[in-house]
């Protein structure tokens, strides 16, 4: 890659501080969210009750918000900020100021939302569906998180634009390109959630209006909610495509293929939100079907990714003299946490993806919708594939940023951490999938439903989830020990920021990939196509709207 | 003579180091896994609805 010339060896210490600030908040969220997760599995096993009259939905809201919204957004913004600084050059003072402003806006917003949840004024779960009504400070806090992430994203875009100006006619560094695609997708997506919060939920929770249109609000939420999951996934893909090849000593299979994959995700992530509303009345089935087809388009970049990762591994293995169909598998560097931990994540993405195809299969969603199967599914996607990749990245990025080293013993503990997560998640996720197929609901505390046989049959699976969840909690503690070591105590030294090179350096990425007018144009066309008619329909046939409910 | 024979025998065993047949097999397995998962839940669906 041409770009490695302009890139600095190390992320500038001033930029490192911005990233580390994001990581502190992210991992505090992981610690507290993990504790809530543990409580949930214990409650759902039927062997434990929450003390002091704490409600189940209060802890579940805390878990969903901290894990799904706070941990992810903070980590991603910190990682992408560092990745851009490393590959496109140190951020300008203006961009760095944006990084700090974004960080503080997000942090203040988080504290506001957390205060409302902890005082039991916002047990509305992380999807905050109307007509459940939270305190307005909760919505305002989440708004600040989103606005802060935009400012954070602006920092990355500024540095990308500067690089383009200084390097006319050249494709931008791959990691920077990927970070910018993800940021742009995020901005497009959050317009939906920002609209429902600003125009519906805030005025309604402030008492300025009495009623809210539930379907409009949920549709705007899912316009955002699906790309949200790709916003989590793409930074993991950045690590898989660019970092892992370098860690194992191999090459990126193809730079252009990686860029094309990211562009396809930009195009097909947004106009698909209806696949979360397949069971919802009030939306024309024909439009649901159209969005299901668009959903299946993301199978293409997903399988492109699987192919090129396998190819990277096989090429590397064969260069080491591995023979046979799968000989390359054995020579991969299993003793290197920077490889093994994300690799476990990649493996988890196989059943995760297969389950996702089931969920999206229109009528088949009836089998699994709102069952604990869905929870099993996204603990494989975000809580394993994405999370283990983020942790694997932290194992080199945190010491890189703090000027320390990942020692041999910490590397070993990190590998143990990865396998502990794998074991815990196998228990919890398999049990969730099976219980879901037997009809066990998600988002519910323990109940035998008047000793109905069906509900009694779920109990063994809930016990298995409690076992798995407890093991997962140990995994979180192990991670926190390593993180604190890497941030404060590990010996001073240089830890590499691994950035892979493409196998074929002559292959220059086509410049059309950086034609934002084109890609944003197609994105807009697809969104307008998928949403305009059904949205008009929803508004024209709207009921009078609902008053707010507080069910907790 | 014997030496030359040995050589040709070895040649057939040497694999092209740029071979991607493991990758091909892997993506086929992946596809198969997806199909099996999907069909299993599909059968449940047909049975129940
Ligand atoms: C110690 C580890 C964890 C345990 C034991 C755990 C357990 C659980 C359980 C039992 C539920 C469902 C409860 C219900 O539906 O009634 C749940 C929901 C959820 N979990 Fe986790 N989890 C863990 C880690 C994570 C991580 C790392 C993430 C994300 C990065 C995550 C994200 C979520 C989300 C978004 C929900 C949905 C909340 C909702 O339905 O509103 N979890 N978790
Ligand atoms: Cu989705």
Q: A36-55, pLDDT tens digit by residue?
A: 999 999 999 988 888 888 99
The response to whether residue A76 sits with its C-beta less than 6 Å from ligand 1 reads no
Nearest one of A398, A373, A309 to A346, comparing CA atoms: A309
Contact A318 B19 (CB under 8 A): yes
d(CA A524, CA A115) in angstroms, rounded, equals: 37
pLDDT at A327: 83
Share of chain A above pLDDT 70, in %: 99
How confident is the model over A157-184, as a mean pLDDT?
Answer: 94
Residue A441 — φ and ψ, nearest 5°? -80, 150
Residues A67-78 have pLDDT tens digits of 999 999 999 999
Residues of chain A neighbouring B25 (CB-CB closer than 8 A): 325-326
Which of A6-10, A227-231, A400-404, B29-33 has the least mean pLDDT?
A6-10
CB nearest A325 (choices: B21, B34, B44) = B21
**pLDDT higher than 90, residue A509:** no
Instruction: Give the mean pLDDT of A452-460.
Output: 94
The C-alpha atoms of residue A252 and residue A243 are separated, in whole angstroms, by 9
Within-domain flag for B41: yes
Number of domains in chain B: 1
Mutate to test the interface with B, among A251, A325, A326 (most CBs of B within 10 A): A325
User: How many Å apart are CA A447 and CA A346, to the nearest integer?
Assistant: 35
Please determine, for residue A3, whether its predicted confidence score (pLDDT) is greater than 60: no
Q: What is the pLDDT of residue A247?
A: 94
pLDDT of A514: 87
C-beta A41 within 6 A of ligand 1? yes
Q: How far is the CA of A463 from the centre of ligand 2 (A)?
A: 28
Average pLDDT over residues A280-295: 91
Residue B37 lies in a domain: yes
Mean of pLDDT values over A27-36: 96
Q: What is the pLDDT of residue A120?
A: 92
Which residues of A fall within a CB distance of 8 Å from B18? 315, 318
Q: Do A358 and B18 touch (CB under 8 A)?
A: no
- pLDDT mean over A350-376: 93
Domain that holds residue B47: 21-49
Determine the pLDDT at residue A2: 41
Residue A503 banded pLDDT, cuts 50, 70, 90: confident
Asked if the structure places residue B40 within a domain, the reply is: yes
**Closest Cα to residue A381, out of A517, A182, A237, A262?**
A237
- Which phi and psi angles does A21 have, rounded to 5°? -55, -45
Residue count (chain A): 552
Best of A367, A377, A380, A430 to mutate (most B CBs within 10 Å, chain B): A367
For residues B28 and A17, what is the distance between their CA atoms, to the nearest angstrom?
A: 45
Quick check: is B5 in a domain? no
Considering only CA atoms, which residue is closest to atom 43 of ligand 1?
A37
A29 close to ligand 1 (CB < 6 Angstrom):
no
Quick check: B7 pLDDT over 60?
no
**Where do the domains of chain A lie, and which CATH numbers do they carry?**
6-550 (1.20.210.10)
**pLDDT category, A491, cuts 50, 70, 90?**
very high
| pLDDT on residue B13 | 53
pLDDT band at A6 (very low <50, low <70, confident <90, very high): very low
Determine whether the shortest distance from the Cβ of A180 to ligand 1 is under 6 A.
no
Dist. CA A56–CA B25, nearest whole Å: 46
Q: Which residues of A touch B41 (CB under 8 A)?
A: 358, 364, 367-368, 437
Average pLDDT over residues A102-106: 97
Q: Is the pLDDT reported for residue A5 higher than 80?
A: no
Q: Is residue B47 part of a domain?
A: yes
For A345-361, the pLDDT digits (tens) are: 999 999 999 999 999 99
CB contact under 8 A, B34 and A363: no
In a domain, B6, yes or no: no
pLDDT band at B14 (very low <50, low <70, confident <90, very high): low
What pLDDT, on the 0 to 100 scale, is given for residue B20? 87
Q: Is the pLDDT of residue B15 over 80?
A: no
User: Which residues are CB-contacts of A84 (< 8 A; sequence separation ≥ 6)?
Assistant: A91, A155, A156, A159, A160, A175, A176, A179, A180
Note the pLDDT of residue B18. 76
Q: Provide the mean pLDDT of chain A.
A: 93
- Mean pLDDT calculated for residue range A280-296: 91
Residue A248 confidence (pLDDT) above 50: yes
- B9 in reach of chain A (CB within 8 A): no
Number of residues that make up chain B: 49
How big is the CA angle at A483 (ends A480 and A485), to the nearest 5 degrees? 110
Query: pLDDT category, A7, cuts 50, 70, 90?
Result: very low
């Amino acid at each position: 890659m041409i770009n490695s010339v302009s890139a600095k060896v190390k992320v500038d210490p001033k930029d490192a501080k911005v990233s580390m600030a994001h990581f502190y908040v992210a991992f505090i969220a992981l610690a507290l969210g993990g504790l809530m997760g543990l409580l949930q599995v214990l409650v759902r096993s039927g062997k434990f009750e929450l003390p002091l009259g704490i409600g189940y939905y209060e802890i579940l809201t805390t878990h969903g918000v901290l894990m799904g919204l706070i941990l992810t957004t903070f980590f991603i913004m910190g990682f992408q900020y560092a990745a851009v600084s490393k590959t496109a050059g140190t951020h300008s003072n203006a961009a760095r100021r944006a990084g700090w402003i974004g960080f503080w806006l997000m942090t203040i917003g988080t504290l506001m939302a957390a205060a409302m949840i902890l005082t039991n004024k916002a047990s509305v779960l992380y999807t905050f569906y109307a007509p459940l009504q939270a305190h307005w400070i909760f919505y305002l806090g989440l708004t600040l998180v989103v606005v802060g992430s935009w400012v954070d994203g602006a920092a990355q875009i500024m540095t990308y634009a500067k690089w383009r100006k200084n390097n006319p006619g050249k494709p931008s560094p791959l990691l920077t390109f990927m970070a910018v695609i993800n940021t742009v997708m995020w901005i497009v997506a959050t317009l939906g959630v920002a609209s429902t919060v600003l125009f519906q939920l805030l005025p309604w929770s402030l008492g300025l209006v009495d009623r809210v249109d539930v379907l409009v609000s949920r549709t705007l939420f899912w316009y955002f909610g699906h790309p949200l999951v790709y916003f989590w996934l793409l930074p993991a893909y950045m690590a898989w495509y660019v970092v892992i090849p370098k860690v194992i000593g191999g090459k990126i299979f193809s730079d252009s293929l990686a860029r094309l994959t990211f562009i396809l995700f930009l195009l097909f992530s947004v106009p698909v939100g209806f696949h979360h509303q397949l069971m919802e009345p009030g939306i024309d089935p024909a439009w649901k079907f159209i969005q299901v087809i668009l959903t299946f388009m993301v199978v293409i970049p997903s399988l492109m990714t699987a192919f090129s990762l396998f190819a990277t591994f096989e090429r590397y293995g064969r260069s080491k003299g591995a023979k046979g169909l799968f000989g390359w598998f054995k020579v991969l560097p299993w003793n290197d946490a920077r490889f093994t931990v994300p690799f476990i994540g990649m493996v988890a993405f196989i059943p995760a993806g297969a389950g996702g195809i089931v969920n999206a299969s229109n009528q088949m969603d009836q089998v699994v919708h709102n069952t604990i199967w869905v929870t099993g599914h996204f603990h494989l996607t975000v809580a394993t594939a994405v999370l283990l990749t983020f942790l694997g990245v932290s194992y080199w990025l945190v010491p890189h940023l703090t000027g320390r080293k990942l020692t041999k013993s910490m590397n070993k503990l990190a590998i143990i951490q990865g396998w502990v997560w794998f074991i815990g998640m196998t228990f919890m996720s398999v049990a969730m999938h099976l219980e879901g197929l037997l009809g066990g609901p998600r988002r519910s505390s323990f109940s035998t439903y008047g000793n109905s046989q069906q509900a009694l049959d779920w109990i063994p699976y809930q016990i298995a989830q409690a076992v798995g969840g407890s093991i997962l909690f140990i995994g979180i503690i192990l991670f926190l020990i390593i993180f604190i070591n890497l941030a404060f105590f590990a010996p001073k030294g240089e830890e590499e920021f691994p950035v892979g090179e493409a196998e074929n350096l002559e292959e220059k990425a086509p410049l059309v990939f950086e034609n934002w007018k084109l890609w944003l144009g197609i994105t807009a066309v697809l969104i307008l196509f998928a949403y305009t008619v059904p949205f008009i329909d929803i508004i024209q046939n709207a009921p009078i709207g609902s008053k707010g409910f507080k069910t907790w | 003579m014997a030496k030359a024979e040995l050589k040709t025998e070895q040649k057939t065993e040497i694999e092209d180091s740029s071979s991607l047949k493991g990758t091909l097999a892997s993506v086929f397995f992946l596809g198969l896994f997806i199909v099996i998962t999907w069909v299993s839940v599909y059968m449940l669906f047909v049975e129940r609805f």
